[in-house]
């Protein structure tokens, strides 16, 4: 019966952990409401370190950082919240406002990119799963049914399109993971033409700018894309955003 005792202990510890996290979250919200933004930032950061990684915390932390005049960190957490909730109007609006405040140029997605980023990575997986289940059900009906097979075959187009669309959506998010985003976290960030000290300066980046990785050099250089231009930065000037 020792295993039962271990399970009970684990459940109790889990319950205490959840209660402690809820209390920390309430304290962080109270600190933010009272204008104690630095304290709220510390509390939200501790929740993330404890593994409570959700878009609400990232969004609230972004707000606290913005109020505390830390634009790069605010943009970083707004963007992380956007990964999970890309259609949330508050997240989208605050991210847009913070980028404007930083003087950073916002990426303008094309039509296909806008459509495929309408749903999050996890949501596209759910759509694909639903499509596969529906397709399996229809194929089963086709096998056991002696009537309406032509109609059932036509209905198979619906889950087929869902699976196809979700595949493109999944691939779009995978591409973002393969070429992750970074936020410029230090001033005087200048992208160079090559990944070596002393290379010719290419373009300057405002602090808080969102850039996308194009290439990486093992010596600590990252090739980034910003406003249609590519250049090399030392990784000490940027902080990773993408999961």
| Segment 70-86 mean pLDDT | 97
> pTM score > 0.85 for this model?
yes
Q: Is the pLDDT of residue 122 over 80?
A: yes
Instruction: Tell me the C-alpha distance between 177 and 235, whole Å.
Output: 17
pLDDT band for 3, please (50, 70, 90 cuts).
Answer: very low
Please spell the DSSP secondary structure of 94-127, one letter per residue.
HHHHHHHHHTPPPP---HHHHHHTSS-HHHHHHH
Average pLDDT in the chain: 90
pLDDT band for 52, please (50, 70, 90 cuts).
Answer: confident
Strand partners, 127: none
Instruction: Tell me the C-alpha distance between 79 and 96, whole Å.
Output: 10
Model confidence pLDDT, tens digit, residues 158-186: 999 999 999 999 999 999 999 999 999 99
| Segment 92-118 mean pLDDT | 94
In 10 A of CB 28, how many CB atoms? Answer: 24
Predicted pLDDT of residue 11: 38
Residue with tokens 């995978």: 174
Q: Which CATH superfamily is domain 2-102 in?
A: Tetratricopeptide repeat domain (1.25.40.10)
| Segment 69-79 mean pLDDT | 97
CA-to-CA separations, 209 to 185, 194, 195, 236, in angstroms, rounded: 8, 20, 20, 14
Is residue 66 within 8 Å of 47, Cβ to Cβ? no
- The token duo for 10 is 């684990």
Instruction: Tell me the C-alpha distance between 92 and 98, whole Å.
Output: 10
49 Cβ partners below 8 Å, 6+ apart?
A: none
Instruction: Tell me the C-alpha distance between 206 and 191, whole Å.
Output: 11
Domain 181-240 has CATH 2.30.30.40: yes
pLDDT band for 8, please (50, 70, 90 cuts).
Answer: very low
Model confidence pLDDT, tens digit, residues 206-223: 999 999 999 999 999 999
Predicted pLDDT of residue 204: 96
pLDDT band for 243, please (50, 70, 90 cuts).
Answer: low
């Amino acid at each position: 019966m020792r295993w039962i005792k271990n399970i009970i202990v684990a459940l109790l510890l889990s319950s205490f952990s959840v209660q402690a996290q809820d209390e920390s979250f309430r304290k962080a919200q109270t600190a933010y409401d009272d204008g104690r933004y630095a304290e709220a930032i510390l509390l939200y950061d501790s929740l993330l370190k404890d593994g409570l990684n959700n878009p609400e915390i990232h969004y609230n932390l972004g707000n606290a950082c913005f109020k505390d005049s830390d634009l790069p960190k605010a943009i970083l957490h707004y963007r992380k919240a956007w990964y999970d909730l890309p259609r949330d109007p508050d997240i989208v609006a605050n991210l847009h406002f913070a980028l404007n405040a930083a003087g950073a140029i916002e990426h303008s997605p094309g039509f296909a990119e806008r459509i495929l980023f309408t749903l999050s990575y996890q949501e596209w997986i759910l759509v694909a799963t639903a499509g596969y289940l529906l397709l399996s059900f229809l194929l089963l009906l086709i096998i056991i049914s002696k009537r309406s097979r032509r109609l059932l075959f036509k209905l198979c187009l619906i889950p087929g399109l869902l699976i196809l669309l979700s595949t493109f959506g999944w691939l779009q998010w995978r591409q973002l993971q393969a070429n992750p985003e970074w936020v410029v976290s230090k001033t005087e960030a200048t992208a160079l033409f090559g990944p070596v000290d002393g290379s010719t300066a290419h373009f300057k980046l405002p602090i808080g700018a969102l850039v996308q990785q194009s290439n990486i050099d093992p010596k600590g250089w990252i090739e980034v894309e910003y406003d249609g231009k590519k250049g090399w930065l030392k990784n000490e000037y940027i902080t990773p955003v993408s999961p």
